[in-house]
Structure 1
Amino acid sequence: MSTLVNVVAVIAVMALVVRRQMRAQRLDTDRRVWVLPLVLGALALRDPRLIDHEHTAQSAVLLGCGLVAVLAMGSVWGWTVRLWRAGDGGLWAKGTRATVAAWVGMIVIRLGLYGVGAALHVHQAASALLLGLAVLLLVRSLVVNWRARTLEAPGQVAGLR
Structure 2
Amino acid sequence: MDKAQIVVIALAAVAFVVYRQMTPRPAARPVGLIIAVAMVLGGLASDGDKLVDPLHPVLAVTLLVAGLLVAAGLGALRAATTRVWRDQHGVAWSQGTPMTLLAWAGSIAVRVAMIFLTTVLGITSPQGSILLFIGVTLGVQFLMIARRGNALPHAAVPAAQTAR
Q: Secondary structure at the match of 2:30?
A: coil
Identify if the C-alpha distance between structure 1 residues 70 and 153 changes in structure 2 by more than 3 Å, giving closer, same or farther.
same
Instruction: Write the mapping of 1:120-135 to structure 2, written as runs, cut at 5 A.
Output: 120-135=121-136
Deviation at 1:33, TM superposition (A): 4.6
Query: 1:46-125 residue pairs with structure 2 within 5 A?
Result: 46=45, 47=47, 48-125=49-126
CA distance, structure 2, for counterparts of residue 116 and residue 26 of structure 1: 38
Question: 1:135, 1:31 → 2: CA distance?
Answer: 15
- In the TM superposition, structure 1's runs of 4+ consecutive aligned residues that sit over 3 Å from their partners are none
Q: Which residue of 2 aligns with 1:45?
A: 44
TM-score using structure 1 length: 0.86
Distance 1:30 1:16, change over 3 A: closer
RMSD: 1.9
Q: Which digits, 9 at most, give the CA deviation of each residue in 1:14-61, with x for residues without a partner?
A: 01100001122233x263553222211111112143222222222212
Alignment match, 1:31: 30
Q: Which has the larger radius of gyration?
A: 2
Secondary structure of 2:39's counterpart equals helix
Q: Where in structure 2 are there 5+ consecutive unaligned residues?
A: 156-164
Cα distance in structure 2, aligned partners of 1:68 and 1:91:
28
The equivalent of 1:159 in structure 2 is none
Aligned length: 154
Distance in 1, matches of 2:38 and 2:25, equals 23
> 8 Å contact 2:92–2:150 — kept in the other structure?
no
The residue type paired with residue 72 of structure 1 is: G
Partner residue in 2 for 1:157: none
SS of residue paired to 1:34: helix
Please list the CA deviations of residues 90-144 of structure 1 after superposition, one character each: whole Å capped at 9, or x if unmatched: 3221101211121122122112212211111112123101101111111011100
Structure 2-normalised TM-score?
Answer: 0.84
- Structure 1 unaligned residues grouped into runs of 5+: 155-161
Aligned-residue identity in percent: 28
- TM-fit CA distance, 1:70: 0.6
The answer on whether the counterparts of 1:44 and 1:50 sit within 8 Å (CA) in structure 2 is: no
